[in-house]
Structures are given as structure tokens and as C-alpha cells.
């Protein structure tokens, strides 16, 4: 009970965002070198400007969902109906896997989406930490990130061994109970040299490398430890190539993978940022880039390939890139432009995959992941244009500015927060009307209830959840913009941590008029 129909659909979203990274800044980098003429450059952005209250309020709410999802011993617990849970996770292998986060409304720890959550949260902090700080959300975001990375470090006990899951999904989804009362066995799953899992290992490397940049100035010892693990795990992922969906077939029901090339590029990109080592750049533009970064693969008007926000650092004043390397990176520019042009609603290349109200809509399962992801990428591209004084984006002969992309991002954020046909906020806790029957075990069961595994009366209850899963971004509306607020409707009503990471990034980008930092270093 409670499983979403093949969470593998979420991996399409991972692919979608993986692409964005090299894509966004690489496109700007290449455009700077090769554009012959363009309109006047936009103004150089200054420090954080006036706060937009609705986005500040929404960001304050969105960051709290990470606290709702925490496993382990909850220090300074901010969620009154949550308590310590899964304290013995990893004990059978003599490792402490008690931390980390439950990925959705269940009590599983799936490291593939958890690592992705950490990478995107790191990305958001690195780009928009100054804006988060203005509204006092930087420290909570950093604390949530460290809760995940502490766990991921412990999941890597030796160079070629990586634990990638805690709990038996089949057993877990036959229960409806609070994580605090779990008594069933919690087995842990690993990938290793003989049973590889390149995509989940590479995503873990990306998470730790990006987080090493977040903590570089505030905890240098921890940052170095993160980077050491990231480099070792990337070497393991690249040396022992194989899909974890093949090595461990049972994962196909939840977070299936159809390939690992996107994650390898994503990880190499973050490692290039974190280390400055040219070998990672060569990885992106050499045979691996040619094999994995097929710019022709545009899916649903968005992106179906993989990469990362590589080379922004060189354009914004960091390491120099040769003309030969720049030419090698043009494949990412073409994909970036296609992606951005597909998102703009009046572009000649606009994707038709959107609702009548203008929401980007790709899949009926967890539809808002694509909406919010699209908006986050658009505002990043807009801010890269602004920070680099790049004047224009060209879409089949039509010219667009950074403001056009920002306005698109705002339209998607406002849709999520209530400017939609249902007149409902899909961010739980924000506004006067939001989902009350969220598909979430802990939120659905009273704090003092003793259910054991079989608390299904709370799943079937016609009463709203007794606990508010504050900050949860639910799956969202169908294509016809309807939403059925039912606890049994996991397709629309189950929140995830990776949704939260992206909405935190989007709201942080909109909370003031500032733009992105020029360098991560």
C-alpha cells in the first residue's frame, strides 16, 4: 500500500535536471565566445534587493518539509508530531545509517532520490545563499543538507562499497504506520564491484562534491571529507559501470533507471567545480561527453539527456577555458537553447506540454516536479544572463531577454502557490487553502496513536490529516487542472524531498531581485 505507480517516472525528472547544469552556464559561456552581435547588455545586478513577501513566506514553509522527513535522533526537533525513528538502521552491517531522510510518504530511504535532493539543495544554496540568508533560511537549508550528507558519508564504508537503500520496499508498503513505531526488520542494500550501480553512485558523488562547496568556508574539515568521498565514489561509479536497475531488479518498481551516462556527467561537472581539476572538464567534452550528451534527445519539449551547470565558473571569472574546449562544449549550448526556447510560452519553439492555465505539465504522476524544475532552470538561465551581461536568447529568429525567462519562472511559482484553476496552494501550509489529505503516513496518524504496522484505518479515514506536513509540495494537478484531495490519491497527493529541494531553489531565486553569485569558490 502507498507505493506510487513506478517511481521510475521520477527518474525522467532527474534526467531533465541533470541536463540543465552543464547546459545553463555552458550555453552562456559559448554564447560569449561566438555571438557576433546582440542587443545592449542588461545591467549588472547588485546585492539582494527588496524582499518579495509571498516568496519569503513560502520559502520559510518549504524548508520545513526537510524536518518532517528526517530519520534518526532528532536534535532540536521543530516538528511537534515527529520523533526519533530508525535508530538501528545499519546495525546489521555495523554502520550508523540512522540519519538521512524518508523520500516521500513512506518510511523508505532510497539513496538515489535522496542524493539528488542533496545535490539540488546544494546547488540552490550555492547560487542563492545570499538571498536565503536575507530571509533567515540559509542556516536551515545548510542543516538539512548536512543531515543527508552525514548519512551518505556513512553509506560509503570502503572505496568500492556503497549502501544505497535502507528498508524493504515491499514490506514497507504493506504497512501504514508512523516511522517512530517501526518494528520490522530494516535490511540495507549495497552496490559494489561485482554488483555495480553507476547511476546511484555517481549521483552520490555529485551530492558530496556539491556539498563540499557549500561547507568549504564554514567547515573546511568536513568539506574536505565530503570531497574525498565524492572522488572515491566517482572513481567507483566510472570504473565499475553497470545500472543498479540491472544489479538489483527490485528497484525498478520505485526508482528505475534507464541509463547512467547523465549521472556520470553530472558528477564530473560538480567535481570540476569542487576541485578545479582539468581532468573532469576533459571527461565532459571527451569520449564520455560525446557518448552521453546527445543534444538531439529532446523529450516532451524539455530535455531527455544529461549534464550539469559546467563552466559557469570560467565565464564568471574563474578558471580559463581554451578555445578548443569551448568548441567541444557547443553541444551543450544547443541543448540549453532548445530547452529554454521550449519553456517560453510565446516562443516559436514552445512546448505544447502545458495546461490551459500555463503550467508546464508532462506527467500525471507527480506533475509539479516538472513544473517547478522548469521554472528553476529558467530563472537560473535568466540570472546567468543577467550576471554575465548576456543580452539575448534567440529562438528561431525571435529574441528574448533575461526578463522573459524570469517572468516565465514567476508564472510557474505563482501557479503552485494558488494562481490556478483550483485556487489552491499546492505547497502545504501556504495560503488559506491547501491539500488536507496528503498521502503521508506520519501526517495521517495522530501523534499518540499506537498502530503497529496495520494502521490502515488512518489511511481510509475521511477526516483531514491530524498533522500538517508543513512545506510538502504535493504531486499536483492533472492536465485538466483538477486535483482530488484524497489520502489514497498518491498520484497527486504524495510529496517528496526532491520536489522540496527544487521548490526551495525556485523560491530562493525569486525572494529578492539579486542574481546568482559569480563563483562557487
The answer as to whether 42 is a domain residue is no
Query: pLDDT tens digits for 198-255?
Result: 999 999 999 999 999 999 999 999 999 999 999 999 999 999 999 999 999 888 888 8
* Total number of domains in the chain: 1
CATH label of the domain that carries residue 185: 1.50.10.10
Query: pLDDT tens digits for 286-307?
Result: 777 666 655 444 333 233 333 3
Which residues lie closer than 8 Å to 236 by C-beta, 6 or more apart? 159, 160, 162, 193, 201
The answer as to whether 217 is a domain residue is yes
Active-site hit among 173, 273, 439, 440: 439
Could you give the count of Cα atoms lying within 13 Å of 305 in the half-sphere of its Cβ? 22
| 439 among known catalytic residues | yes
248: number of Cβ within 10 Å: 17
The answer as to whether 18 is a domain residue is no
The answer as to whether 3 is a domain residue is no
Helix/strand/coil for 64: coil
Going residue by residue through the chain (521 aa), what tens digit of pLDDT does each one get? 333 334 434 444 444 454 454 444 444 444 444 444 456 666 666 678 889 999 999 999 999 999 999 999 998 899 999 999 999 999 999 999 999 999 999 999 999 999 999 999 999 999 999 999 999 999 999 999 999 999 999 999 999 999 999 999 888 989 999 999 998 889 999 999 999 999 999 999 999 999 999 999 999 999 999 999 999 999 999 999 999 999 998 888 888 887 888 889 889 889 988 998 989 888 887 777 666 655 444 333 233 333 334 435 334 434 556 666 666 666 666 777 788 899 999 999 999 999 999 999 998 999 999 999 999 989 988 888 888 788 899 999 999 999 999 999 999 999 999 999 999 999 999 999 999 999 999 999 999 898 888 899 999 999 999 999 999 999 999 999 999 999 999 999 999 999 999 999 999 999 998 777 767 76
The answer as to whether 138 is a domain residue is yes
| H or E, element range at 395 | strand 393-395
How is residue 485 annotated by DSSP? -
The answer as to whether 30 is a domain residue is no
Helix intervals (H) in 240-367: 244-247, 252-255, 261-275, 278-285, 287-292, 312-315, 323-328, 330-343
The answer as to whether 519 is a domain residue is no
The answer as to whether 518 is a domain residue is no
Q: Looking up cell 524518508, which residue turns up?
A: 102
Q: In which domain, by residue range, is 189 found?
A: 51-511
Amino acid at each position: 500500500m502507498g507505493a506510487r505507480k513506478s517511481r521510475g517516472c521520477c527518474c525522467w525528472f532527474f534526467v531533465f535536471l541533470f541536463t540543465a547544469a552543464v547546459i545553463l552556464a555552458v550555453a552562456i559561456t559559448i554564447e560569449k565566445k561566438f555571438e557576433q552581435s546582440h542587443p545592449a547588455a542588461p545591467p549588472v545586478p547588485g546585492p539582494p534587493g527588496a524582499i518579495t513577501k509571498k516568496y519569503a513566506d513560502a520559502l520559510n514553509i518549504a524548508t520545513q518539509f526537510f524536518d518532517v522527513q528526517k530519520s534518526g535522533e532528532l536534535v532540536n526537533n521543530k516538528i511537534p508530531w515527529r520523533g526519533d525513528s530508525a535508530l538501528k538502521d545499519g546495525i546489521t552491517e555495523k554502520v550508523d545509517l540512522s540519519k538521512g531522510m524518508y523520500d516521500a510518504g513512506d518510511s523508505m530511504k532510497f539513496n538515489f532520490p535522496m542524493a539528488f535532493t542533496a545535490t539540488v539543495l546544494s546547488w540552490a544554496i550555492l547560487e542563492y545563499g545570499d538571498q536565503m540568508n536575507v530571509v533567515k533560511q540559509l542556516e536551515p537549508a545548510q542543516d538539512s543538507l548536512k543531515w543527508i550528507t552525514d548519512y551518505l558519508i556513512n553509506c560509503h564504508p570502503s572505496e568500492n562499497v556503497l549502501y544505497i537503500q535502507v528498508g524493504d520496499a515491499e514490506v514497507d508498503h504493506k504497512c501504514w504506520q508512523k516511522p517512530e513505531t517501526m518494528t520490522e526488520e530494516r535490511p540495507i542494500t549495497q552496490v559494489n564491484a561485482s554488483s555495480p550501480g553507476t547511476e546511484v553512485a555517481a549521483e552520490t558523488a555529485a551530492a558530496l562534491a556539491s556539498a563540499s562547496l557549500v561547507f568549504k568556508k564554514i567547515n573546511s574539515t568536513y568539506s574536505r571529507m565530503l570531497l574525498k568521498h565524492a572522488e572515491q565514489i566517482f572513481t567507483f561509479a566510472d570504473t565499475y559501470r553497470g545500472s543498479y536497475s540491472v544489479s538489483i531488479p527490485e528497484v525498478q518498481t520505485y526508482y528505475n533507471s534507464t541509463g547512467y551516462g547523465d549521472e556520470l556527467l553530472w558528477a564530473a561537472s560538480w567535481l570540476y567545480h569542487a576541485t578545479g581539476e582539468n581532468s573532469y572538464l576533459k571527461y565532459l567534452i571527451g569520449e564520455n561527453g560525446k557518448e552521453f550528451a546527445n543534444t538531439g534527445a529532446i523529450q516532451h519539449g524539455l530535455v531527455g539527456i544529461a549534464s550539469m551547470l559546467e563552466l559557469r565558473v570560467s565565464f564568471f571569472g574563474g578558471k580559463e577555458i581554451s578555445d578548443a574546449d569551448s568548441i567541444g562544449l557547443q553541444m551543450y549550448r544547443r541543448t540549453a537553447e532548445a530547452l529554454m526556447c521550449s519553456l517560453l510560452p510565446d516562443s516559436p519553439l514552445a512546448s505544447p506540454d502545458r495546461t490551459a492555465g500555463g503550467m508546464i505539465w508532462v506527467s500525471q504522476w507527480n506533475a509539479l516536479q516538472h513544473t517547478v524544475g522548469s521554472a528553476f532552470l529558467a530563472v537560473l538561465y535568466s540570472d546567468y544572463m543577467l550576471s554575465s551581461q548576456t543580452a539575448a536568447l534567440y529562438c528561431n529568429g525571435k529574441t528574448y531577454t533575461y526578463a522573459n525567462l524570469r517572468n516565465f519562472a514567476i508564472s510557474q511559482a505563482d501557479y503552485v502557490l494558488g494562481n490556478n484553476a483550483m485556487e489552491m496552494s499546492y505547497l502545504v501550509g501556504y495560503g488559506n487553502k491547501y491539500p488536507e489529505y496528503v498521502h503521508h503516513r506520519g501526517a495521517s496518524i495522530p501523534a499518540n496513536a499506537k498502530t503497529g504496522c496495520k494502521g490502515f484505518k488512518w489511511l481510509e479515514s475521511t477526516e483531514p490529516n491530524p498533522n500538517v506536513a508543513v512545506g510538502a509540495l504535493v504531486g499536483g494537478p492533472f492536465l485538466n487542472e483538477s486535483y482530488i484531495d484524497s489520502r489514497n490519491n498518491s498520484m497527486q497527493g504524495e510529496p517528496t524531498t526532491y520536489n522540496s529541494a527544487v521548490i526551495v531553489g525556485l523560491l530562493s531565486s525569486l525572494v529578492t531581485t539579486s542574481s546568482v553569485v559569480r563563483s562557487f569558490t
